[in-house]
Structure 1
Amino acid sequence: MAIFKFLLFCLFSALLFVSIVHAHETVKNNDNIGYSFGDSKIDCGGECSRRCRLSSRPNLCHRACGTCCARCNCVPPGTYGNYEACPCYANLTTHGGRKKCP
């Protein structure tokens, strides 16, 4: 019985390791499409300018985007929506519970 538990533990550990490696490789591949995750820092000023260029309140948008970018190190593609590309960015909220990031 102890051998079975040990083998099960080894199998689970191997699957977890493979999953982490696969996730890391996926994140590295996403760095080339305008938004970033992981260890490399992105140009928050440039990315937020791109994100806020069509905003009716560009200064407010740029300030909020800059805060979110600094915390999450990513900005979703496009000028609106696409939050699934950067879950951290999408989950930041104000004290009132509204979305913080444009």
Structure 2
Amino acid sequence: MVNGSTELVAAASALAAGFAVGLGAIGPGIGQGSAAGDALAGIARQPETEGRVRGVLLLGLAFMESLTIYGLVVALSLLFANPFLK
């Protein structure tokens, strides 16, 4: 590759990594807030179900957080393991 195109690929990779992390965190962040709010509302209505609701909430939050980690993995791959930057 020509030097100019290598710099362009590096810049595009950095921009794409930023988008991967940013957009990968928006959805799970909104989902986690919504899930936590609904779980609190459910517990407030029926306090006897608190243990079950909390368990399901924590499992759901873990799955949502894994989506953010996938975005981080994509971003790190774009930054450090990019095959186009040889």
- Structure-1-length-normalised TM-score: 0.38
Where relative contact order (Cα < 8 A, 6+ residues apart) is larger, the structure is 2
- Structure-2-length-normalised TM-score: 0.44
Which has the higher Rg, Structure 1 or Structure 2?
Answer: 2
* Higher normalized helix content (fraction of residues): 2
